[in-house]
Amino acid sequence: MPFRFRVSGRVTEQETGTPIAGLLVRVFDSHWLHDDPLGEARTHADGHFELQFTEVKFKVPFEVWPDLWLEVLDPSGERILNSTRHAVRKRAHVEERYEIAIPRRSLGVDLAQAAGGLN
């Protein structure tokens, strides 16, 4: 039976700590040639997201643990709001949790208003 991994976390507006719902979170396994997509999830009303995958998604010869990074995109999936590509979690654990705070200026007016960040 394949080994199960879980990536979860919460996305908030940096200035207020308000959770942001409806964002697309994509998770990748980093490689020197190309990165393998492991899956995607949406943030819920409380800003939380969760994604599960098995080693079948990332395993190549001699690789036992994934090297994880993720990106957070706007609801349409067209604009990257945040990326952890510069901070890959090498040899990630079976469960990894992320706390991501996105600056208001990166959200744009519509998302900031939805998060309660603009009055």
Reported as a single tens digit per residue, the pLDDT across 33-56 is: 788 899 999 999 999 999 998 877
Which tens digit of pLDDT belongs to each residue from 75-96?
A: 999 999 999 999 999 989 899 9
Tell me, yes or no, whether 38 lies in a domain: yes
92: number of Cβ within 10 Å = 19
pLDDT score of 41: 97
| Residue 92 DSSP class | -
Would you place residue 31 in the very low, low, confident or very high pLDDT band (cuts 50, 70, 90)? Answer: confident
Tell the residue number behind the tokens 């964002």, with chain if given. 23
Would you place residue 58 in the very low, low, confident or very high pLDDT band (cuts 50, 70, 90)? Answer: low
Q: What's the CATH number where 105 sits?
A: 2.60.40.1120
User: Nearest to residue 89, comparing CAs of 70, 72, 71, 63?
Assistant: 70
Tell me, yes or no, whether 104 lies in a domain: yes
**Domain total of the chain:** 1
Tell me, yes or no, whether 8 lies in a domain: yes
Tell me, yes or no, whether 119 lies in a domain: no
Total residue count of the chain as it appears in this document = 119
pLDDT score of 63: 67
Q: Output the pTM of the full model.
A: 0.86
| pLDDT higher than threshold 60 for residue 119 | no
